[in-house]
Structure 1
């Protein structure tokens, strides 16, 4: 672990050489990563099966192919994203070149998570590489087989001087956090997130924290509960509930609760005809510690209406529905991160909104309602990382939407271009000519009333009748003509 300082220094030397800033280098690394994903599909599937009992389809859909699509989207847009961004100019800047350069921060530490050990490790790295950063990758040791696989194959495909993989547990992570980084990206729980943020504060290092929280579901009366049950339980059962945006608990009326339980029973029968314990499509809890933590929730409040079965040897917990849960019950105090789904009866959406606002900011909010006014009311009166209406998860699949938390559920966002932006410093640039000094004399001392009037005329903005800025086209035209005449005068007569 003493070697981490030398490792970081060597990677920083690569960054300072300018190699990673070249767009061609970035493209070549991304293409190499694409090749890595394509040539190791079966090995990734085997590792996910060993770590989480993920079926091949679930592993490919949520991990390998998800990362692959994000990668291709990045490659298709890389040239456009790396171009300087032109910005609007004022009268005094008409002859200037003004733009924003997106530049890499330098050496980024990316700390992946165990629940989606490929997607949540590689997708941030896609953004970091596309932005021109060097990367030190720390996979989660809890998903041990996937971590070992990444440690083996990443150096075989990517620039091993600019991109490093460090495997290990708490001692290695602690040692890494003692180093000075230019950016830190962490996915995981809020407890470790606070440790990461404290370490980053020592060097004023910017961070992105992708955390979690108790993502609530509100189900309105009068919706098709058969469809709701299908979509809801797909999200809850995926990865056995070990998903940061998994539905954590439901709020609905008592009448809707009782009807919903029957619909969920049918849905689970359709999903797992021989039962989830025998299904090849149902995951297991990742470790004994996490299994025991989730198992405690089976008796954490309310009544078990469905499921409740467990198997210590296999770390298996069946999809479980708890009914008549109270907000004060133990199961409602922390994020469940497993296949246990409490239902808390409420009177209406107002009570649901009040509870959401009394707690910490969730990463996701799910609303099942046919009433537009109800949906808008809940969205407008709450604060969450994201919202999905009449479905779950799907807002996280769209690269044009930023994925990230707010408050206790995290800071910063990524996916698609937002990943590129996260790992880029937006550098303001203005280029001027050493000419037209007679115009610039307005800003130099001695200050006179005449100078003040002229500067005020040029710079003053006024509101139009709609509250926006009044169109300044006539002033721009006049200013442009004046600037051109002055430039021509200076060129030929000075």
Structure 2
């Protein structure tokens, strides 16, 4: 029997190249980061990212990676979070693709110098603001949306001409391993790197001195990273978890509100930083809302959500135990409540008789549990929201435009959305983050068809600058980093 034909030289060199490129990604910790940072700084100083054509090609390669390996990403997220294919495609892959395509279509305009208004003394001068890259950026992703929270900042950083080191969350290990395997095969190997490091290594890694840091995660870990960044005066963008309130007015389409809240709260098994964390319900709407939520959960996941292919699981045993313990010490279970430790399964659960001091109200849930508190009117809801820490998102459901306007104006949050949930985070043209980052944004969706829109139009998008934000010249993507 003749020997099988040897692979062609092209295939052999391709395999050799992939193995070599993957070696650096397999290293973990500050030692590997030092090497990657050295290579990235050398590439930045050589000006590899200056040309528009280079940035364009890298963004196109990122889109191609997502398209060619869609099944791999779906499989990785299924392993990490039991995430359904639909949720992975819509909330992760399409979102990143849209960000990249938006950057590709606007890159030329963003790179043009911006002329500024002249005064009498400079009337004969040429005045303009030129945006240039900062340097090497560190992106620290979170496990709840591991593709989106790693690659959306990467898109902005590429568009702005920076080199990037990505540190995916070790909690979503299958997705992290997939990113460190694929990215070297699609993006420039000197400018863009993937680092596998644990959360405990982050302060030491930050001490290596980057030009900017994007961090998404818990407040505790964010505090450690911010303290480490302060030692080297490194600018940092933090997106931290929090408790997002959702006020349900008595004057709204309860059925529509229940469906939209249930989808937002229980997709990805409730493990989302922008989902409604608790409901402040008008007392007159409570009974009707509970019934509508029951119907919505039955429609989405059937009589036994454990058997549904559309419902996920807790990411690990630690998060399962944390949510289970809060569930047992807070309020009264009126829907769900079933748990299975072996599967890390917690059923979609609704709690009533919840008080402000219950454990479920002291920290971000990050699980399929929705507490309901009652208030007498919108004044009570606003007061409740304002005496707590400023949330990442505020939601309100009402057909009364005055109620919507009051909640938006009298509360402070990273984002605001009326008559829908989560959709504001899918808007490519709006920035993302909590209070104190370069911008906050608001999305007012149209009310149900039976009521007029709050603004008299199908939808109204409102963006506002944060008075506490730093002044900088930055490309108008969510995470582009430049200096003027």
**Which residue of structure 1 aligns with residue 458 of structure 2?**
none
**Which residue of structure 2 aligns with residue 393 of structure 1?**
422
What 5-or-longer segments of structure 2 have no aligned partner?
Answer: 1-29, 442-462, 464-473
Q: d(CA) in 2 for partners of 1:421 and 1:87?
A: 23
Question: Runs of at least 4 residues of structure 1 off by over 4 A?
Answer: 410-417
Cα drift, residue 26 of structure 1: 0.8
**Which residue of structure 2 aligns with residue 129 of structure 1?**
158
Cα drift, residue 274 of structure 1: 4.2
**Which residue of structure 2 aligns with residue 79 of structure 1?**
108
Q: Encode CA deviations 1:6-64: one digit per residue, 9 max, x unaligned.
A: 33122111101111122111111111111111111110110011000111111111111
Q: How does 1:85-484 map to 2 (within 5 A)?
A: 85-406=114-435, 418-419=476-477, 422-425=480-483, 427=484
Q: d(CA) in 2 for partners of 1:46 and 1:223?
A: 39
Q: Encode CA deviations 1:161-209: one digit per residue, 9 max, x unaligned.
A: 1111101313443432221100000011111111111111111111110
What 5-or-longer segments of structure 1 have no aligned partner?
Answer: 428-494
TM-score, structure 2 normalization: 0.85
Contact 2:431 2:479 in 1 (8 A): no
Higher relative CO (CA 8 A, sep ≥ 6), structure 1 or 2?
1
| Stretch deviating more after TM superposition (143-152 or 12-21) | 12-21
Contact 1:250 1:344 in 2 (8 A): yes
RMSD: 1.7
| Stretch deviating more after TM superposition (220-229 or 415-424) | 415-424
Cα drift, residue 375 of structure 1: 1.3
Q: d(CA) in 2 for partners of 1:311 and 1:392?
A: 29
396 and 170 in structure 1: CA distance in 2 versus 1, 3 angstrom threshold: closer
Q: Encode CA deviations 1:304-354: one digit per residue, 9 max, x unaligned.
A: 110101110111111111012111222111111111111111111111111
Q: d(CA) in 1 for partners of 2:197 and 2:161?
A: 26
222 and 4 in structure 1: CA distance in 2 versus 1, 3 angstrom threshold: closer
* Count of residue pairs brought into register by the alignment: 424
Q: Encode CA deviations 1:386-416: one digit per residue, 9 max, x unaligned.
A: 1100110111111222211016xx7767999
Q: Encode CA deviations 1:79-117: one digit per residue, 9 max, x unaligned.
A: 111111111111221221111111111000000111111
Q: Secondary structure at the match of 1:376?
A: helix
